[in-house]
Amino acid sequence: MKRPLLLTVVTSFLFLSPLFSQDANEKLKDVFLDAEYFLLNENYLEAVYSYNILYKKGYENVANINYRIGQCYLNIPGEKSKSIPYLEKATQHTSLKYTEGSFKEIYAPLDVYFLLGNAYRITNQTDKAIEAYNKYNELIGPRNLLAIRLADKEIDACKRAVEMMETPKDIDIANLGRPINTSARDFSPVVSDDESELVYNSAQKFYEAVFFSKKVNNKWSAPTNITPEIESDGDQYCSSLSYDGTELYLRKEDNFDADIMVAKYENGRWNKSQPLGKNINTKFWEGNACVSKDGKTLYFSSNKTGGFGALDLYKSERKSDGSWGPAVNLGNTINTEFNEDAPFITDDGKRLYFSSQGHNTMGGYDIFYADLDTNGHWQTPVNLGYPINTTDDDLFFCPVRNGAAAYASLYSKDGYGSEDIYRIQLSPEKLIAGQHNLKDTINKQNLTATLANQTLADTVSQQAQKAKVEASVEKLLVDSGVQARARAVLRCIFFDFNKALLTIKAQRELDHLSMVMGNYPDVKIELIGNTDAKGGDEYNLMLSEKRANSAKTYLMKKGIVAERIMIKGVGKKNYIAINENPDGTDCRDGRVFNRRVDIRVIEAKNNAIIIEEVKVPEKLQIKGH
């Protein structure tokens, strides 16, 4: 999936080129040109395969080949850390006179330092990233001020990332599972607001397909490949779905630009996608687009001339004949000198979600939202925070239900493919558009005062009035999806296979646990480590103890004294889900639930803490449990 770059980090060692026979050299040159072609078309897997052929044929010390291999790995989900040794090696021999696309080129461009900084940043090696960005600025000199400003932004982002990761947001992330996610790359999910229809891209062997699924009995149906219906050549990418799920907006790409298309769902099938009018599509790059709930306003990205930066966000109003009117730039509160893309407007039209390279990010692109005030002005964009945003590029975030939840594609070691589609449930207290900070809208104190001022029968006592008010408050909180804070809910934490390292989600749960224990200083707990069935008894007992101890160590770093935390490892004997399928084959999905640390309250003066039971899907449950 291409996107125009604000800064072309020019894809453009001091060793002699390897000597081969003329025929052999010509064949290797063809391999190089194939690799360059794949790279140009962002087919990084094919490109890195070809570059690696050269690497193994005597080019392992050629800086340009190392640069290209590193560049490819940096764009492959799950493989990005592999880029570092190649980019490090390439920095040993750089040149200002780099010739892009030349098989004879043995140097790397100075941009290799910028890519190395990105690689360090993405792998959270922020100190090394800052060092690489500074080196890039030092070498590039004053010849490209915009490039220097971008590198300076990434330096600031590295510092900001450290701070933001220390205060993660309270969210829940759920993999949509089969049949949506596969071993392929599944990405760019767009969903109708009631979450009954889902359209997304899936990387097939020779093209990028578009799939469509409906939710039936709360389960996603087997997806249908609608690429032939919309008549795509594998060059159309999901951008958004209308509120009612009947209009699918897509981005159609070629090697030079992109146009916005729309396909309509009629009579049980999708029609051929059609380009939007000349007020939207130009000779420049028109990227992602979304439409308001009433279908009257289109928001989209474009790098047409006259904007504030590279990709800017625009809006257009639908005219009475159904065509779109002139595009209007959203202004410099939203747009920066860098890229803004992937806009999504909430149902009430008051909050705009989008990706930005130019606002205060953790590195690369982050997801932001901006609210529309009563005068029709966009307010300062707000970073959604970690872990929605990361030190990698975060580019596509499709909100539903006025922003209470969202869909996105992410990479995970426990996923099905190089990218999977996830549903993200945001904390009801935060980031909910239309309710604009639920804590303010459903403020218990204000609500109590409002209800208390209502006329009640004279015979109702003040005590009864207070009880009624409190009951109304609790009901409203529950109806609004906000957990009452009277009790603290704790959840167990899960681990990757054969690991005792804490995942990001586990750290979030432990952050919550440390806060609860801080609020209830009398509470003592026991952490009970568990494993799945893989491996021997003795090894798993040791691994389970390591997991419990890892959680305890984390809590102690958060200020909880060791005397309040007991630990125990039970190995693989405490299953809550099947480890094998009925036919005896391995059940990976079941084993996920068994790799965990349970929490048990062993001392507390009240019942203010609830341990949430793990909800194991029925098909993974152990019979008899």
Domains by residue range for the chain, with CATH = 22-165 (1.25.40.10), 171-438 (2.120.10.30), 442-472 (no CATH), 488-620 (3.30.1330.60)
Displacement of CA 166 from its chain's centroid (Å): 18
- Burial (CB < 10 A; 0-12, 13-18, 19+), residue 360, is middle
Q: Are 96 and 137 in contact (CB under 8 A)?
A: no
Query: 59 to each of 55, 112, 209, how far by Cα in Å?
Result: 4, 18, 36
The C-alpha atoms of residue 261 and residue 287 are separated, in whole angstroms, by: 10
Give the residue with greater pLDDT, 92 vs 486.
92
User: In terms of pTM, does the model score above 0.85?
Assistant: no
Residue 486 reports pLDDT greater than 90:
no
Give me the chain's average pLDDT, please. 85
Q: Measure CA of the first residue to CA of the last residue in the chain; give whole Å.
A: 47
Q: Are 596 and 494 in contact (CB under 8 A)?
A: yes
Best CA proximity match to 245, nearest among 190, 176, 311: 190
Residue 23 reports pLDDT greater than 90:
no
Kindly write down the DSSP assignment for every residue of 264-309, as one continuous string: EEETTEEPPPEE--TTT--SSBEEEEEE-TTS-EEEEEE--TTSSS
The C-alpha atoms of residue 311 and residue 326 are separated, in whole angstroms, by: 17
- pLDDT per position as a tens digit, 591-620: 999 999 999 999 887 666 788 888 888 889
State which H helix or E strand residue 478 sits in.
Answer: helix 462-479
Percent of the chain with pLDDT over 70: 85
The C-alpha atoms of residue 303 and residue 283 are separated, in whole angstroms, by: 10
The C-alpha atoms of residue 80 and residue 123 are separated, in whole angstroms, by: 8
Task: List, in order, residues 6 or more apart from 399 with CB less than 8 Å away.
Answer: 344, 346, 353, 405, 406, 433
The C-alpha atoms of residue 182 and residue 184 are separated, in whole angstroms, by: 5
Residue 273 reports pLDDT greater than 60:
yes
Least confident of 7-21, 155-169, 341-355, 511-525: 7-21
